[in-house]
Amino acid sequence: MKLRAVALTLSLLALLLSAGSALAQQPGGTLRIAYTSIQQLDPYKTAANDEINAASLVFDALYVIGKDDFQPVPHLAESWRAIDDTTWEFTLRQGVTFQDDNEVFPAGQGREVTADDVVYSVERFLDVSTAFTLGNIASVEAVDRYTVRITTAEPDPFLIPDSNRLARVYIVPREAVEHFGEEGFARNPIGSGPFKLTSFVPDQSLRFVRNEDYWLPVHLDGVEFVFIPDPTVQLIAVEADEVDVITYVFNIDSVAQVEGTPGLSLHPRGGSYRGLGFNVTTAPFDEFEVRDAISKAVDIDAAVQAVVAPFGIRAYGQVPPWVEFEQDPTLEDLWSFDPDEALAILSEAGFEPGPNGVLQRDGVPLSFTIKTIAGSQVRVLTILVTQLQQLGIDARLQQQDLAVWAEDLQTGNDTGVFFNYSFAGTTGLYALFHSRNHGITNTAFYSNPEADALLDLASRSVDYEERNAAWLEAQRLIMADRAGIPLYFEFGYSIANDRVKDWVVPWGGLNLVTIENNVHLED
Amino acid sequence: MLLYVARRLVSMVPVLLGISFITFALVTFAPGDAIRIMLGSETANVENVERMRRELGLDLPWYQQYVRYMTGVVQGNLGTSIVSRQPVAAQIAQRFPNTLVLTVSSMVVALGIAVPLGVLAAAKHHRVADYGAMTFAMIGVAMPNFWLGLVLLIVFGLELRWLPIRGIGSLDDGLWAYARHLILPAATLGTSLAALLTRLTRNTMLDVLGQDYVRTARAKGLRSGRVLYHHALRNALLPIVTTAGLQFGALLGGAIIVETIFSLPGLGLLSINAIRARDLPVMQGAVLVFAVCFMLVTLLTDLVYAAINPRIRYG
């Protein structure tokens, strides 16, 4: 009898234990993410990755940029379709509610997200967003409770695939914005996202807890953002297991430093275009021959190989490999390293060596300072500048603070040659070279009516083949014209420890819980 | 005494006005502005950014902007950050205590090392302790903050794992939990000041120890410890206090680097980020708070004089 009681107790105990371990095996944990600075959490009012990452936990967008091929993946919208060239119709997921247990929605009373919320959000975005442009929206209307129609003034094929446009419109509840006011909403965000904000003191503490009512099961218990402003210390912190993830690293020196560290993984995705720009309105760079000669005077391959590889690749154009456009293999033929020819071209253009060995024309030396900001390009450009000097071109390099550099470029000042970059994936070519953007992002002040027309045509083509062809043709014209010299594409990375599973490198907001992936921690 | 303090406080007003004007002019006439940085991003909404420029009055001539800003300041409104669009006063209020605690504890570290070490060096003039103290002083002054900070962080935070590498503790978790976060930053920031003050303490002590009244005290048969601390140090303290007070400004400056390395959300970090983004209202606010602190510390130093040396009287 006694023995049986013991056996029963033991088996009960075993049952409890196994249940306990089954619970422990369930994915979960609190993900710790390093960040540099977060001052506010309204996703419409910031271009800072950290702030958008944090805000994206609280809010849902209609779709997310998926983990493969940068394709839009349904999120709050179950599906969408083009009704005609200018009208998109989105069908919303039913039964999704805004987070409750807060000042706006009492516990258990989270209101359902409907088409009206999408209309309100798009209108608010058009009104207050400074960081991103939605484009020329003619109207946005709720057809019924779960159907929204967005009409653009002109055919606009980039509206959805470009990660910087409709993908940035997180759906916000009108009540919350009106209750807290614009300033207060940025400190008390309420959305329909997978995590609720539990504490926020700017640059001090920022914690989120799982939204139990989310329309997908959320694996993580919570997310903690860890304030580490210094990039070097961020690396130390991920090595010391103080944080789990550094979401996006732009600096390939940091990437090289942690590569091969046991327990840490590099997750590559996307990156940036880096090149040389000419202010084509200042002498002598208004002459094609001078720009062409400079492009032939430098050994870009060697410099990129020495400094950037394997964390980047040589660029022959501006269109990066991670956007919807195809790579144009013929671009490679546009560029060559041929110092002798460079000298011959310059000589034909009237440049002859002066008394001090510097090439000059009519007593004016061929002399310029390349303005740049910090980054791997400083070392690449140092190599190129040395090569230019060897040919008798008085080239120098000057590293500037971002604010000074931006003003210098935008006002055209004395900048003849400058470092030029682009983080915007899809429409970088348009930003850097369309004449509409003179003095804003087209700091080359480049105008080419033919290229403008092609870019405009592509921006209105709903047919992919036509769009792709026009875009690549524009790229080819601009490159053949030497409006700039493409140098390389530098890759971007997440650095995460190996316990983090199902991680997707953010491409405009974090993808922690989507229909494709569900991030969790594993021992 | 009270009248003196009041007079000193009133005299701060024109100085602050001057400082605010100089900061404003420096930022306004220096190249680069916050709006241009925003526009430089390829995705920016140019129309909305331009509208924001108008709403914030950044399109006005500089003197109108200055008058607008000062009108706000007089009414206790430090303005709104251009970048985060959050009130500047709240941002400063939240960070200022961290910087204050950091600088004060660095001062405690500096004085805690410098005074005993300097006295020891003077007492053991030309002996091993003296040379040891002077070597410390030399290294301490020569070592840059950012380097020392990273070394301490890697040794005590990453390798030995004795101390946290980042952030601030919460007093709710007990005094130790709070203090241990401060040890590395305070040591980093306090070291160079400690080095400077060690040297100064030693030299002043040597001067004082050579005075007649010290010899008299010794001749009376007083114990050397009493002579050292009661007779000599008290008289040597004045220049130490003066220097420590003036160096408080350097501590505030050093806080920028130390706060960055140890992820301390303080005023230094706030101002460096504001400078990078050309966020004028935040910069202005931070500089004003720094200036007020510095002036208050100078005043405090003068008052401490009177406490140390009863012959000094303010009236």
pLDDT digits (tens, 9 = 90+) for A29-64: 999 999 999 999 999 998 889 999 999 999 999 999
Residues 100-129 of B with CB under 8 A from A: none
Token readout for B225 is 């410890």
| A402/chain B closest Cα distance in angstroms | 7
User: Of A116, A135, A129, A52, nearest to A459 (Cα)?
Assistant: A135
Contact at 8 Å (CB) between A379 and A397?
Answer: no
When pLDDT is averaged across residues A171-176 and rounded to a whole number, the result is 97
Residues B19 and B66: their CA atoms lie apart, in Å, by 12
A21 pLDDT tier (thresholds 50, 70, 90): very low
- Compute φ and ψ for A195, nearest 5 degrees: -135, 145
How many Cβ atoms are within 10 Å of A150's Cβ, its own excluded?
25
Q: What is the pLDDT of residue B217?
A: 85
When pLDDT is averaged across residues A116-127 and rounded to a whole number, the result is 96
Token readout for A114 is 């409907």
List all residues 6 or more positions away from A208 whose beta carbon is below 8 Å from its beta carbon.
Answer: A57, A58, A195, A196, A197, A198, A222, A223, A224
A23 pLDDT tier (thresholds 50, 70, 90): very low
Indicate if the pLDDT at residue A245 is higher than 90. Answer: yes
- SS3 per-residue string spanning A76-107: CEEEEEEEECCEEEEEECCCCECCCCCCCCCC
Determine, for residues B45 and A403 on separate chains, whether the beta-carbon distance falls below 8 Å: no
Q: What is the pLDDT of residue A410?
A: 87
Q: Does A37 touch chain B (CB under 8 A)?
A: yes
Residues B149 and B161: their CA atoms lie apart, in Å, by 15
When pLDDT is averaged across residues A230-252 and rounded to a whole number, the result is 91
List all residues 6 or more positions away from A460 whose beta carbon is below 8 Å from its beta carbon.
Answer: A154, A155, A156, A157
Q: Which residue has the tokens 């792709």?
A: A468
Token readout for B120 is 């020891």
Q: Find the helix or strand (DSSP H, E) in which A30 lies.
A: strand A30-35
Partners of B165 on chain A (C-beta within 8 Å) are 233, 236-237, 240, 242
Determine, for residues A183 and B85 on separate chains, whether the beta-carbon distance falls below 8 Å: yes
A237: nearest CA in chain B? B165
**Among the listed ranges A26-40, A174-188, A269-283, A302-316, which one has the minimum average pLDDT value?**
A26-40
Determine, for residues B263 and A423 on separate chains, whether the beta-carbon distance falls below 8 Å: no
pLDDT in tens, A340-371: 999 999 999 999 998 888 999 999 999 999 99
A241: nearest CA in chain B? B158
Token readout for B215 is 């010899």
pTM over 0.90: no
pLDDT in tens, A309-340: 899 999 999 999 988 899 999 999 999 999 99
pLDDT in tens, B126-165: 999 999 999 999 998 898 888 999 999 989 988 888 988 8
Indicate if the pLDDT at residue A15 is higher than 60. Answer: no
Determine, for residues A410 and B46 on separate chains, whether the beta-carbon distance falls below 8 Å: no
User: Of A2, A56, A40, nearest to A169 (Cα)?
Assistant: A56
Residues 160-189 of B with CB under 8 A from A: 161, 165-168
Partners of A236 on chain B (C-beta within 8 Å) are 153-154, 157-158, 165
Which residues share a beta bridge with A80? A90
Partners of A406 on chain B (C-beta within 8 Å) are 32, 36-37, 39-40
| B207/chain A closest Cα distance in angstroms | 45
Q: What is the pLDDT of residue A1?
A: 41
Single-letter residue type at A336? S
What stretches in chain B show pLDDT beneath 70? 315
Residues A441 and A487: their CA atoms lie apart, in Å, by 18
B161: nearest CA in chain A? A240
Residues 154-213 of A with CB under 8 A from B: 164, 182-183, 186-187, 201-204
Q: Does A414 touch chain B (CB under 8 A)?
A: no
- Rg of chain A (C-alpha set): 27
Determine, for residues B265 and A204 on separate chains, whether the beta-carbon distance falls below 8 Å: yes
Share of chain A above pLDDT 70, in %: 95
A19 pLDDT tier (thresholds 50, 70, 90): very low
Q: The dihedral of CA A357, A359, A362, A366: what is its sign? A: negative
Determine, for residues B94 and A202 on separate chains, whether the beta-carbon distance falls below 8 Å: yes
Q: Over chain B, what is the mean pLDDT?
A: 88
Q: What is the pLDDT of residue A68?
A: 83
List all residues 6 or more positions away from A515 whose beta carbon is below 8 Å from its beta carbon.
Answer: A73, A74, A75, A216
Virtual torsion, Cα A435, A437, A441, A445, nearest 10 deg: 40
Mutate to test the interface with B, among A136, A224, A233 (most CBs of B within 10 A): A233
B279: left (phi over 0), alpha (psi -120 to 50) or beta: beta
Partners of B46 on chain A (C-beta within 8 Å) are 133, 440
Indicate if the pLDDT at residue A10 is higher than 60. Answer: no
Q: Over chain A, what is the mean pLDDT?
A: 91
Indicate if the pLDDT at residue A508 is higher than 60. Answer: yes
Residues A468 and A372: their CA atoms lie apart, in Å, by 31
| A258/chain B closest Cα distance in angstroms | 15
What is the pairing mode between strands A222-227 and A30-35? parallel
Q: What is the pLDDT of residue B222?
A: 82
Determine, for residues A229 and B263 on separate chains, whether the beta-carbon distance falls below 8 Å: yes
Mutate to test the interface with B, among A35, A38, A39 (most CBs of B within 10 A): A39
Determine, for residues A403 and B32 on separate chains, whether the beta-carbon distance falls below 8 Å: yes
Contact at 8 Å (CB) between A499 and A523?
Answer: yes
Residues B262 and A119: their CA atoms lie apart, in Å, by 44
Determine, for residues A39 and B86 on separate chains, whether the beta-carbon distance falls below 8 Å: yes
Q: Which residue has the tokens 């026009």?
A: A470
* C-alpha A259: how far from chain center: 22
Indicate if the pLDDT at residue A17 is higher than 80. Answer: no
Strands (E), A110-263: 137-144, 147-152, 195-201, 205-210, 222-227, 245-249
A26 pLDDT tier (thresholds 50, 70, 90): low
Compare CB distances from A422 to B42, B94, B95 and report the shortest one's residue.
Answer: B42
Residues 193-222 of B with CB under 8 A from A: none
A126: nearest CA in chain B? B48
Q: Does B95 touch chain A (CB under 8 A)?
A: yes
A-B contacts (CB, under 8 Å):
149
Domains of chain B: 89-308 (1.10.3720.10)
Partners of B262 on chain A (C-beta within 8 Å) are 233
- Compute φ and ψ for A510, nearest 5 degrees: -80, 140
A232: nearest CA in chain B? B261
Mutate to test the interface with A, among B36, B54, B184, B256 (most CBs of A within 10 A): B36
Domains of chain A: 30-244+499-521 (3.40.190.10), 270-492 (3.10.105.10)
Residues across chain B: 315
Compare CB distances from A130 to B52, B95, B261 and report the shortest one's residue.
Answer: B52
- Compute φ and ψ for A343, nearest 5 degrees: -65, -40
Q: Does A402 touch chain B (CB under 8 A)?
A: yes
Q: Does A230 touch chain B (CB under 8 A)?
A: yes
Q: What is the pLDDT of residue B174?
A: 85
Q: What is the pLDDT of residue B107?
A: 94
Residues 145-164 of B with CB under 8 A from A: 150, 153-154, 157-158, 161
Q: What is the pLDDT of residue A497?
A: 95
Q: What is the pLDDT of residue B315?
A: 62
**Among the listed ranges A21-35, A494-508, B132-146, which one has the minimum average pLDDT value?**
A21-35
pLDDT in tens, B8-33: 899 999 999 999 899 888 888 888 78
* C-alpha B116: how far from chain center: 22
